[in-house]
Structure 1
Amino acid sequence: MTSNSYLSRQSKETWKYAFIGGFISIPFTFGLYWWSGMGDYLSLNMILLGGILAGFLAKNGSVSARNAGISAGVIGGLPIVVWGLSTLIGIPDGPLIVWSAPILEAVFLIFVGFVILGMSALAGLIGGMIGGWLSKKLGTQKTPNVSS
C-alpha cells in the first residue's frame, strides 16, 4: 500500500468518525439550549461530548483522535454559526445591527463566525483527546492493517 492511499484511507476514516460525533452533537446542543429556557446562553458541552465520541471511535479505528475531534467540533458548530449569524442579521426579529457600514459589518459577521467555529473546534479537540485517552484506557484499540 502506498503512503498516498494510506493517507487517503486515514482521512476517510477520520471524517467518518467526525461526522458521527458532529452530527450526534447537533440535536443535543439545541436540546440543551431549548431545555435551558432558550435564553442567550448556548453551551458547547454537547460538542465536547461529540468530540469525545469521535475521538474514541477514531482511536479504536487507529486514526487520529485529535483530528476527528476537531472535525467533529467544526461539524457540530456549523449550526451554531448559522443560528448566531442569522440572529445578528435579524432574521427572526429584525436587524440587530444597523447596516450603516456594510463592509465593516460583513467583516464583523465573518469574524464572529470564525470565532464560533474556532471555539467549537477547540471543544472538539479537547473531546477528541479525552476520547482517545478513554480508548487507550479501556484497551479497545485495534492494530492498523499495513501491507507492503
Structure 2
Amino acid sequence: MRPSGPVLSRLTPAWRYGLVGGLASIPLTTGLYWLSETANELSLNMVFIGGLIAGCLAAVRSEHVGAVPVGIRTGVVGCLPGIWLVLDTYLFTATVGGPAWFRTVGLGVVVVSWIVVATLMSIIVGVLGAKVGAWLATQLGRSASAVGR
C-alpha cells in the first residue's frame, strides 16, 4: 500500500532541496540557451546558481543533509534542458548522407553520449554550487549546526 499525502512530504530532504535548486535553474538555463546567438551552446551557470541555492537551504534547514547529495540531485534535475540539444542533434543527423543503418547507429551513439556527458557535467556543476552554498551558509553563521550555538 502506498502512503498517502503530498508528494513533497514523502521526498527525502536531499531531494526536496535538490528539486528546489534544479527547478529554479531550468527556466534560466532554457532562457540562456534560447537567447544564445548560435542556439547550440548550453550554459550550466544557472545549474551552479541552483546548486548554490539548494546547498544553502540544506545547510540552513537541516544538519543531516550533505551538500554532495543535494548537488547531485540539483544537477540531475538541472540537466533536463540539456536534453533539448538532443533534438538539434537529431535534426542535424537526419540531414547527413549515408546508408540508413549508418545514420541510425550514428544517431544512437551521439544521443546517448550527449545525454551521459550533459548529465555528468551538470551533476559536477550542481555539486560545486551546493558545496559553495553550504560553505556560504556556514561562513555567515546560518548553518543548522550554527543556529543551535
**Equivalence for 1:5:** none
**8 Å contact 2:51–2:133 — kept in the other structure?**
yes
Deviation at residue 97 of structure 1 after TM alignment:
4.9
Residue type at the aligned position of 1:95: A
- The change in CA–CA distance for 1:70 and 1:96 in structure 2 (over 3 A counts) is farther
TM-score, normalisation: structure 1: 0.78
Unaligned 5+ segments in structure 1 are: 1-8, 144-148
Q: Give yes or no for the alignment of 1:25 onto 2:25.
A: yes
**Equivalence for 2:14:** 14
Give aligned pairs, total: 131
Q: Which runs of 4+ in 1 moved over 4 A?
A: 96-99
**Equivalence for 1:128:** 130
Q: Percent identity?
A: 34
Alignment partners' CA distance in 2, 1:105 and 1:30: 23
Alignment partners' CA distance in 2, 1:104 and 1:41: 21
Deviation at residue 40 of structure 1 after TM alignment:
2.2
Alignment partners' CA distance in 2, 1:123 and 1:105: 27
* Counterpart secondary structure, 1:16: helix
**Equivalence for 1:79:** 81
**8 Å contact 2:56–2:130 — kept in the other structure?**
yes
**Equivalence for 1:112:** 114
Residue type at the aligned position of 1:141: S
Unaligned 5+ segments in structure 2 are: 1-8
TM-score, normalisation: structure 2: 0.78
Please give the per-residue CA displacement for 1:50-81, whole angstroms capped at 9, x wherever unaligned.
01111111112221112101210110102212
RMSD: 2.2
